[in-house]
């Protein structure tokens, strides 16, 4: 499992969690999908985030007539299928939702492992987990592999929470700067078009807040 503090305990995910796959209602039956309001997660949406919305939804009939399960907020999802970068990625549900059979839903059976700590731990163990996949041309993980996956965890929930809090704070900082970068890129593109097409002139702009070239290099 790689280096870990000597005081940490090695556990299998299945020791402390209920782990199960999801399901996909039959696409050929419109009433399983049309007008659906139940969020349905695909592996492409399992991408190191808290999932607050999904591209597709199923109906109650679709839920009742498939192996899909309604999962509570806080459920950890692991992508089991995907030849590219998808396999092995994790996310946490921020809403009540279902997922397809290519996702493993990880729900705690006890208070032994903090879910946010586990999320960050599995993010760090991404390569280790995905290398356990097997199969032919399409290598996949499965429920048994995930249940048997070993992790080292701090002995107390307080220590796990402290580690998760620090990493969560850095995550929020990263997301904030990512959002700012997107806004600045949009502004740049708008100004680029405006200035190059004569829709704007430099005289129209207040540039007093911009740093000088020398200041920008500091």
- The structure tokens listed for 5 are 């503090």
Distances (CA, A) of 166 to 119, 137, 162, 169, 177: 13, 40, 6, 5, 17
Q: Kindly report, residue by residue over 140-197, the tens digit of the pLDDT.
A: 999 999 999 999 999 999 999 999 999 999 999 999 999 999 999 999 999 999 999 9
CA distance 171 to 12: 26
Q: 99: which residues sit within 8 A by CB, 6+ positions away?
A: 22, 40, 41, 42, 68, 71, 77, 105
Average pLDDT, the chain: 92
Task: Kindly report the pTM of this predicted structure.
Answer: 0.84
Q: Are 63 and 38 in contact (CB under 8 A)?
A: yes
Q: Kindly report, residue by residue over 119-131, the tens digit of the pLDDT.
A: 999 999 999 999 9
**What pLDDT does residue 216 have?**
58
Q: Kindly report, residue by residue over 51-77, the tens digit of the pLDDT.
A: 999 999 999 999 999 999 999 999 999
CA distance 32 to 120: 35
């Amino acid at each position: 499992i790689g280096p870990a503090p000597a005081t940490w305990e090695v556990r299998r995910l299945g020791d402390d969690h209920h782990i199960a796959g999801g399901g996909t209602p039959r696409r050929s039956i419109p009433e399983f999908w049309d007008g659906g309001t139940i969020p349905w997660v695909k592996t492409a949406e399992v991408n190191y985030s808290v999932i607050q919305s999904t591209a597709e939804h199923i109906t109650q009939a679709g839920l009742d007539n498939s192996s899909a399960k309604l999962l509570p907020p806080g459920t950890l999802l692991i992508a089991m299928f995907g030849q590219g970068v998808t396999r092995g990625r994790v996310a946490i549900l921020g809403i009540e939702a279902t997922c397809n059979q290519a996702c493993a839903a990880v729900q705690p059976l006890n208070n032994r492992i903090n879910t946010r700590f586990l999320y960050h731990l599995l993010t760090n163990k991404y390569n280790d987990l995905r290398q356990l996949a097997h199969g032919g041309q399409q290598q996949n993980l499965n429920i048994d592999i995930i249940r048997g996956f070993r992790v080292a965890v701090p002995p107390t929930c307080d220590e796990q929470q402290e580690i998760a809090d620090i990493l969560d704070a850095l995550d929020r900082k990263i997301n904030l700067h990512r959002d700012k970068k997107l806004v600045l890129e949009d502004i740049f593109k708008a100004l680029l078009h405006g200035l190059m097409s004569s829709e704007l002139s430099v005289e129209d702009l207040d540039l007093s807040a911009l740093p000088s070239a020398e200041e920008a290099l500091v």
